[in-house]
Amino acid sequence: MTDAATQIKEQITGNDVVLYMKGTKSMPQCGFSSRVAGVLNYMQVEFADVNVLESDDIRQGIKDFSDWPTVPQLYVKGEFVGGCDIITEMMLSGELDTLFTDNGVVYDKDAADKIREANG
C-alpha cells in the first residue's frame, strides 16, 4: 500500500464517519462538499473531515482507494457510501437515517426529518 492508502485506511478505520472533502466541515471550499458537510452538521453527526486540498497524495489517493472519481466521499464504519448525489438521495429517501442507525452512529432524527420536509 502507498503511504496515502495507509493513511486513508487509518482514517476510515479510526473514525465512525469520515468525509473526504474540499475544505473543512466549518469552511467547505466547494458546493458539493458544502452540501454533504451541511447535512452531516445539521444532523449533528460527529465526523472526521479530511481536507483533500491540503495533500495532492490524499486528493488522488482517496479517488484510487474508493475507485470513485470525485470528492466529497463519505465513509461510515470503514465502508464507502458515496458522493454528493448519492448522499443527497439517501438523505431524502431516509436511507441515510437507516445507515446511521444500523451502524450505531448518533444523529438528530428531528433534524433529518426537517431536511426532508424542506425538500419534499
Return the pLDDT at 1: 61
The DSSP H or E segment spanning 28 is none
* Amino acid symbol at 94: G
Could you give the domains of the chain?
Answer: 3-115 (3.40.30.10)
CA dihedral 49, 55, 58, 61 (to 10 degrees): 150
Q: What is the pLDDT of residues 7-59, one digit of tens each?
A: 999 999 999 999 999 999 999 999 999 999 999 999 999 999 999 999 999 99
Q: What is the pLDDT of residues 66-105, one digit of tens each?
A: 999 999 999 999 999 999 999 999 999 999 999 999 999 9
Q: Using an 8 Å Cβ cutoff, are 65 and 20 in contact?
A: no
The single-letter DSSP state of residue 46 is -
Q: Is the dihedral of CA 47, 92, 81, 50 positive or negative?
A: negative
Gyration radius of the chain's alpha carbons: 14
- d(C-alpha 62, C-alpha 56), whole Å: 10
Return the pLDDT at 120: 79
How many residues belong to the chain? 120
Question: 77 phi and psi, to 5 degrees?
Answer: 55, 45
Return the pLDDT at 53: 97
Q: Is the pLDDT of residue 2 over 90?
A: no
Strands 48-51 and 17-21: parallel
